[in-house]
Chains A and B, each alone.
Chain A
Amino acid sequence: MARMKFLCDAERCIACNGCTTACKNEHEVPWGVNRRRVVTVNDGVQGAEKSISVACMHCSDAPCIAVCPVDCMYHTEQGVVLHDKDLCIGCGYCFYACPFGAPQFPQQGAFGLRGKMDKCTFCAGGPEPDGSQAEFEKYGRNRLAEGKLPLCAEMCSTKALLAGDGDVIANIFRERVTVRGKGSEVWGWVTAYGKPGQGQPATQGGTK
């Protein structure tokens, strides 16, 4: 069985936010909730700016699953982390535990009272029957059940965001790295051994 994963290629992401918009539209996500977002590191700094699209990473040792007080989250056979909104109490513990800020809470009622948690489902819906109306209303479309991959990655204009079987997307990424063809610099030999002509082995003794 495939293990579903996301991968965002920081060399390709142009921060167009197409993934964010595609996700929001496909799943009719509630107001104020964004299941996916694009973050730009060092925005506007020449030579150091990188953008990365982030959502639920569907962790194997998922902190949200570990801390949920009603145990409403689970892994599917494909490694996708899903949750049951009927059980969710809206306590916010998954939001405290998650390193990626994936769990979101629509504000229901006064004083910022948290509603049922909402997050990226890897386009795999929820515990309801696949493709049912109830499933769509709570979790959005179940594209995986239709044999399709997450829309954010499908829509990505530069194919920076990859989603699917971990082995397959790892191969795609590996191919890209080799084609970019910078040689040993990519995996950091320069860091370890210095630039050509630099850092040659000491002729005698060496430092202790």
Chain B
Amino acid sequence: MSKLGEVASWIGLLAALALAGPAWAQDVPTNQQLIEQQQQRRVEQPGNNAPVWREVRSGRSGSTLVPGNEMGVLILSSGQTWRAARVPLAFWGGLLIAAAIAALALFYLIRGMITVKEPPGGRLIRRFSAADRYAHWLLAMTWVVLAVTGLVISFGRDLLLPVIGYTLFSWLAILSKNVHNFAGPILIVAVPWMFVKYVRDNGIGVEDLKWFVHIFGYFRGREYPSARFNAGEKLVFWLLLVVFTTILVVTGLILNFSNFGQTRSTMQTANLIHMTTAYLAMAIAAVHIYLGTIGMAGAYRAMKEGYVTEAWAEHHHKRWYDDVKAGKSRQKFAASGEGTASASGATRTQTS
């Protein structure tokens, strides 16, 4: 080819690109082009059906008498992408959860439970109303059930199956799948309820940034003063509840209710997002559950019974405590005798 011809062909190519839009569109022939190629083949190379096979390979739908979703698609490649993507996702996701739990165990061994020195005669503050707590526990119990059953489905084949065998593991997996599918939709109620009850005190400001800057003080007993919820709790609220759990609910519903005609590609994507989000969420939830139970004295009681001690409030939520003292907060000091019965382990006389 002459130099001039080469230049001309380059100009032609550029013009074609400019006219035809993005370059990637050039790689995939349209249906019409493939049909024309096939008709041409029939004359020139009968028996060589490459254009038809290219069409089959493209995943476009042909026609079929068998009713059902995507029945006209002969070959769908995205399943391979899904299959390949799951392996590293599950590996790193599983590792992340394991690392989070291991780090918390190590932290517990070194630091132990974070406690507050309780002076005698301290009063109690009602930190969470009954509705606050019910909203939290509906969400929390559903969430933990979903996390455990999800882990069984995700990692059971590698971790449980070799130990407990096919029959028992299958029984556990069937149970997990059904519980997962029926518990999931509870979150449609639990997430908005939780949001409505807690959004008020979860506004984000500059103080929250400062709290994070002073995060090491948190573990050394010198906490940066926070309002009713500190920045860590706000992060759990916004990231774990509002972002992650909402994503999990939406993708979960797409996977759960497969009778709305969603395609396999949609469900593959939803599954990958569901997995990724679940692993990240579980790692964060592990920290939240740790601090709410064995990690910090008084935290579990606050959510179980609703009360915290004055010293606890002053230590962990100084600005909130000041507000309560000044009567500016919606949370009040408990009346004399309120909440103490349950604290001492006796029969509860007071319900909030």
Chain A interface residues toward B at CB < 8 A: 10-11, 17, 20, 32, 34, 37-43, 45-48, 50, 52, 54, 63, 66-72, 86-92, 95-101, 105, 107, 111-114, 177, 180, 182, 185-188, 190-191, 195, 207
Contacts and interface: CB of A to CB of B under 8 A. Distances in A.
Interface string B145-168: 000000001101100010000110
B39 interface: yes
A187 B50 CA distance: 10
A112 B268 CA distance: 18
Given A187-B48, A207-B1, A42 B38 contact: yes
A91 B62 contact: no
B68 A186 contact: no
20 contacts: A11-B49, A39-B73, A40-B63, A41-B52, A41-B74, A43-B63, A67-B86, A69-B153, A70-B161, A89-B170, A89-B173, A92-B255, A96-B271, A100-B74, A100-B75, A111-B259, A112-B260, A113-B181, A185-B44, A185-B47
Given A17-B65, A182-B47, A92 B38 contact: no
Given A37-B71, A112-B259, A42 B55 contact: yes
Nearest to A189: B45
A95 B259 CA distance: 14
A39 B72 CA distance: 6
Q: Which 9 A-B pairs have the closest CB atoms?
A: A112-B259, A185-B45, A37-B66, A47-B39, A87-B170, A48-B38, A43-B63, A41-B62, A39-B62
A107 to B, nearest CB: 7
Interface of B: 1, 34-35, 38-39, 42, 44-52, 55-56, 62-66, 68, 70-77, 79-80, 82-83, 86, 153-154, 156-157, 161, 166-167, 169-170, 173-174, 176-177, 181, 255-260, 264, 267-268, 271
A200 B82 CA distance: 46
Given A71-B157, A89-B177, A186-B45, A40 B258 contact: no
A99 B265 CA distance: 11
A37 B155 CA distance: 34
B45 A188 contact: yes
* Most chain B beta carbons < 10 A, residue from A69, A86, A191: A69
For A20, A32, A48, A86, the residue with the greatest tally of chain B CB atoms inside 10 Å of its CB is: A48
B258 A99 contact: no
A41 B79 contact: no
A10 B48 CA distance: 10
A92 B83 contact: no
Nearest to A11: B47
A54 B170 CA distance: 30
Contacts of A105: 258
Given A39-B74, A54-B74, A100-B74, A92 B267 contact: yes
A41 B161 contact: no
B181 to A, nearest CB: 7
Given A91-B153, A101-B70, A185-B46, A112 B257 contact: yes
Contacts of A40: 62-64
B270 to A, nearest CB: 10
Contacts, number: 163
Contacts of A89: 153, 170, 173-174, 176-177
A187 B46 CA distance: 10
A86 B170 contact: yes
Contact of B35 (A48, A90, A95): A48
A46 B38 CA distance: 10
Contact of B56 (A41, A63, A91): A41
Interface secondary structure of A, over-half rule: loop
Contacts of A48: 34-35, 38-39, 42, 51-52
Contacts of A34: 66, 68, 71
A107 B257 CA distance: 11
Most buried by B among A54, A68, A107: A54
Given A38-B64, A111-B257, A185-B44, A47 B50 contact: no
B156 A70 contact: yes
A195 B47 contact: no
A40 B74 CA distance: 9
B207 to A, nearest CB: 46
B298 to A, nearest CB: 40
A97 B79 contact: yes
B38 A98 contact: no
Nearest to B176: A89
A190 B258 contact: no
A46 B39 contact: yes
A10 B56 CA distance: 12
Contacts of A66: 83
Contacts of A43: 62-63
A24 to B, nearest CB: 10
Contact of B79 (A42, A98, A107): A98
Contacts of A195: 44
Contacts of A32: 68
B264 A20 contact: no
